[in-house]
Amino acid sequence: MPIQNKKRFSERDICTKFITPALTRGGKWDVIDQIREEVSLTKGRVIVRGQLSTRGEAKRADYVPRQHARQTLRQLLDNTPPPAADR
């Protein structure tokens, strides 16, 4: 792949064109069964001032491994295959 100027891409474009293919390369992760994309992690901190209350900024993640996924993120980053019993 030729070197591209990634500054012209949006965050979602970078995820779609670079990160997702890297996660799925070599059959390491199945995007449909093992990875959740664009996940809300929290609704935001509750801020109370007298009788008024509001929520702070919500926390989001681009990628989160599903709970039933047996391969850990550390194994993915280290390029180590999961144990044979987990396949």
11-26: pLDDT as tens digits = 888 888 888 888 888 7
Residue 87 has pLDDT above 70, yes or no: no
Predicted local confidence at residue 50, as pLDDT: 93
Predicted local confidence at residue 55, as pLDDT: 93
For residue 22, give the CATH number of its domain. 3.90.1570.30
DSSP category for residue 28: S
Q: Give the chain's length.
A: 87
Instruction: Answer whether residue 22 is part of any domain.
Output: yes
Instruction: Answer whether residue 86 is part of any domain.
Output: no
Structural domain for 53, as ranges: 6-80
Specify the higher pLDDT residue, 43 or 31. Answer: 43
Q: Whole-angstrom Cα distance, residue 70 to residue 20?
A: 18
Q: Quick one: which of 1, 36, 34 has its CA closest to 15?
A: 36
Instruction: Please state the domain count of the chain.
Output: 1
46-86: pLDDT as tens digits = 999 999 999 999 988 888 887 655 556 666 666 666 565 55
Instruction: Answer whether residue 35 is part of any domain.
Output: yes
Residue 22, CA distances (Å) to 17, 32, 41, 52 in order: 9, 15, 23, 46
Instruction: Answer whether residue 87 is part of any domain.
Output: no
